[in-house]
Amino acid sequence: MVDKGGYNDFYNLLLQAERAGAEQFIAMRLGSAPPLTVIEEVIVPALTDIGEGWEEGTVSLAQVYMASRICEQLVESLLSGENCIAPKETPPIAIVTLADYHSLGKRIVSAFLHSHGYRMVDFGHGLTVEEVIEAVKRHGTEILLLSTLILNSALAVKDLVDKFQQAHLSVRVIVGGAPFNLNRKLWAYVGAHAMATNASDAVQVLERVIASPDRMSTMTPERGNNR
């Protein structure tokens, strides 16, 4: 586990758009934990807290934007030298951010999976339901990891799953992102096969989904309170 000493300092550095200070803070944490752990246990929670601050009216949109940019650059730097194991034999896998243009979460999940030997096609971010369907057909995708940032995008997953069925496309959908973490029953409502609460959880969930096509057997254990 990474040393989180001074976490509030990092949070405040992001709010103040102190890029150099944030970089120095993260560099110091790399002595006690690998890059992926630092990303998941320090960078992601801080950015999540800032997003919640914006929803509560205590953080401005400009602060959210600058913090996101700094975090994206930090993650890019940390992942650039990350090693991975040999590729696993899997069904065709793809990852996408539906509707939203915030791709940091998708990039982190993709990096975690890549470091565990999983290879996938990245469809990108900001795609519509129709664009995702076309990409799935084009690549023969059998497992789709889908990230969302806002509730409307999460609800659009239901439309996507329905259209997969109408088109007779057998695609197992794994969802993740803030809306699903806030409401632990939402993944089932939209018809997904499973949900992952974070990047490391995505590795275990993907393993279960690959092992079984049965939706109920791949559901992620509920953590925390449902809303």
Predicted structure pTM score: 0.77
Q: Is residue 121 helix, strand or coil?
A: strand
Task: Name which residue leads in pLDDT, 214 or 30.
Answer: 30
Q: Which residue has the tokens 């989904």?
A: 209
The 10s digit of each residue's pLDDT in 161-174 is 999 999 999 999 99
For the chain, percent of residues with pLDDT exceeding 70: 89
Query: What's the CA dihedral at 98, 22, 198, 118 to 10 degrees?
Result: 80
Q: What pLDDT sits at residue 218?
A: 40
Q: What pLDDT sits at residue 225?
A: 40
Q: How far apart are CA 81 and CA 79, in angstroms?
A: 6
**Could you count the other beta carbons within 10 Å of the beta carbon of residue 3?**
14
The 10s digit of each residue's pLDDT in 141-161 is 999 999 998 889 999 999 999
pLDDT value at 114 more than 60: yes
Say how many CA atoms lie within 13 Å of 180 toward its Cβ: 30
The 10s digit of each residue's pLDDT in 12-28 is 999 999 999 999 999 99
pLDDT value at 221 more than 50: no
Edge-to-edge strand ranges of the sheet holding 194-195: 121-127, 93-98, 143-148, 172-177, 194-195
Cα radius of gyration (the chain):
18
In the chain the domains, ranked by start, together with CATH numbers, are 7-79 (1.10.1240.10), 93-218 (3.40.50.280)
Question: What does the pLDDT average to over 109-123?
Answer: 90
